[in-house]
Amino acid sequence: MRDANESTQGTPGRSGPGFNRRDFLKGSGAAVAATAVATAVEESVAQEKKAANVVAAKPGPVKLEINGKSHTVTVEPRVTLLDVLRNDLNLTGAKEVCTTTNCGACTVIIDGKPVYACARTAVECQGKKITTVEGLGDGKDVD
């Protein structure tokens, strides 16, 4: 039997008196956990500061050519083309169903190609030729 004060140097698995591999692993595990918590707290604080610095974009004029007519609306840059069509211009042919680009109910034609209006901002549609379902017919061929 070894005395508690006896040196353990030279003993396999022991690196010194009163200190063994288990103690080392416990200590290093606690240090890693403390570092992880500190890092998470720092990231959280940084995200809060970043969010506080974000200033809401101000509404501005957006000029759109829809169904051959020019329209100017004042909207925030984040507003979708679909919202402008339905809420500002009363063009309700494009429907708001999923708003996640899954259903196609909001499809319009932009520069000759079908596009989901819920996936485009009005700002990015400036200078493009937009056609909605209202602009497809002349209203005379209805049976």
* Contacting residues toward ligand FES, per CB under 6 A: 96-99, 101-106, 116, 118
What residues are paired with 109 via a beta bridge?
Answer: 114, 131
Q: How far is the CB of 60 from ligand FES (least distance, A)?
A: 24
Dihedral angle over CA of 8, 10, 11, 17, nearest 10: 20
Q: How far is the CB of 133 from ligand FES (least distance, A)?
A: 14
Q: How far is the CB of 85 from ligand FES (least distance, A)?
A: 11
For 90, the 3-state DSSP assignment is: coil
Q: Which residues lie below 8 Å from residue 15, measured CB to CB, with a gap of 6+?
A: 8, 9, 21, 24
Q: Residue 123: which region, alpha, beta or left (left: phi > 0; alpha: psi -120 to 50)?
A: alpha
Helix (H) or strand (E) holding 116: strand 113-116
Task: Please say which residue, 15 or 101, places its beta carbon nearer to ligand FES.
Answer: 101
Task: Please say which residue, 7 or 102, places its beta carbon nearer to ligand FES.
Answer: 102
Task: Please say which residue, 40 or 98, places its beta carbon nearer to ligand FES.
Answer: 98
Task: Please say which residue, 67 or 116, places its beta carbon nearer to ligand FES.
Answer: 116
Q: How far is the CB of 100 from ligand FES (least distance, A)?
A: 6
Side chain identity at 59, as an amino acid letter?
P
